[in-house]
Amino acid sequence: MRKVQNFIVKGKQIFIGLEDSKRTWKLCVRCEGMIIHETSMPAKYDSLRSYLKNRYPGCRIEVMYEAGFGGFWLHDRLESDGVACVVTPAHKVTQEKVNKVKTDKIDARRLARNLEYGDYTRCHVPDRERREDRQISRTLDQIQKDIVVTKNRIRRFLDFHGLNEGFPAGSWTETAYEQLKVLQLPVSLQLSLDAYLQLLAELKRIRAALKSQLRAFCQKDRYQALVVSKASCVGIGWLSAIRFTLEWGELSRFGSGKQFASFTGLTSREYSTGETIHRGHITGHGNGQVRGWLIQCAWRALPRDPVLSEKFNAVRNNSGSKKKAIVAVARKLAVRMRALELADQPYCVGVIE
């Protein structure tokens, strides 16, 4: 059977759907419209490379897998070994509406079939340098969340032991946390409080180091012009500019402003049929944290640009929702960043389009 299969696929193009998980990979191999092999193997690249080399010598191999927790390292390894690889967004994989069964084996079959018939969306794969630089920004976001968690633990600690007298009930300033250093507590409580304060200080030190590295990236040749273009927009400082640049790359890869707006996930969902048109919440595609940054920048930009302010008021009056209005402003701000980058000119306040 093995010899017959090798004869059938010899010198031909084969299509492989790979469903990845932490421990195992499920593979489905297709050639000329039919499945020729299915297998499972440990999630190790050496096992995959040996399988492709030994089983399909002389074949033109193309592999497709879904973008997910594994990132793009598998794509890089396959491409470096001369194997064509497609990474597809998981939410855009075509599948039957009536299919109520989902397994890794079925997913691998679906990927292989879609790859063979060209029914897929290709995910943009950033180069390795940008992926590694981008990790600094994402680590900063994680550290900031840890800082918030640690501050909340400190405040809950004080509440639990009745030590909150003299401290504000609402938001705390940095001065309030400094005052904790002079508290005199019983040994056990003092040890716990000191541990929290040391952790908070260390997290702040790491945050400062990460921000310093991001500041240095602003002067990097490949990012400098892109950062300057974005930072010229109202509401966007150097930190947001470099983070957008690291996440998006060059915006010229998007064919239109609508395509870029869809990529950010700030466009409306639509369920329409016949004469019925229904639009819902935003699609939420892409990175949710990046959308959060866009919303924050939009709030800062509102009082500084009358055109954006007018857009906000128009949507709010029409929908009765501030959330919908600020999303519309954020979408407009994102599209403008793309236009500025393509035109290679700074932002002009008050320009309608």
pLDDT (0 to 100) of residue 344: 87
2-116 CATH fold? Nucleotidyltransferase; domain 5 (3.30.420)
Domain borders along the chain are: 2-116, 128-217, 222-343
pLDDT (0 to 100) of residue 69: 81
Q: In the chain, which residues have pLDDT < 70?
A: 1-8, 97-98, 269-280, 350-353
Contact of 264 with 295, CB cutoff 8 Å:
no
Q: Which of 211, 154, 142 is nearest to 179 (CA)?
A: 154
Contact of 227 with 245, CB cutoff 8 Å:
yes
Neighbours of 191 (CB within 10 A): 10
**Cα–Cα distances in angstroms (integers) from residue 84 to residues 36, 65, 116, in the given order:** 19, 12, 13
β pairing state of 60-66 and 13-20? parallel
**Dist CA 57 CA 9 (whole Å):** 9
**Dist CA 174 CA 207 (whole Å):** 15
Neighbours of 86 (CB within 10 A): 19
Q: Model-level pTM?
A: 0.87
pLDDT (0 to 100) of residue 4: 45
pLDDT (0 to 100) of residue 351: 63
pLDDT, one tens digit per residue, over 243-286 is 999 999 999 999 999 999 999 988 876 666 666 655 667 787 87
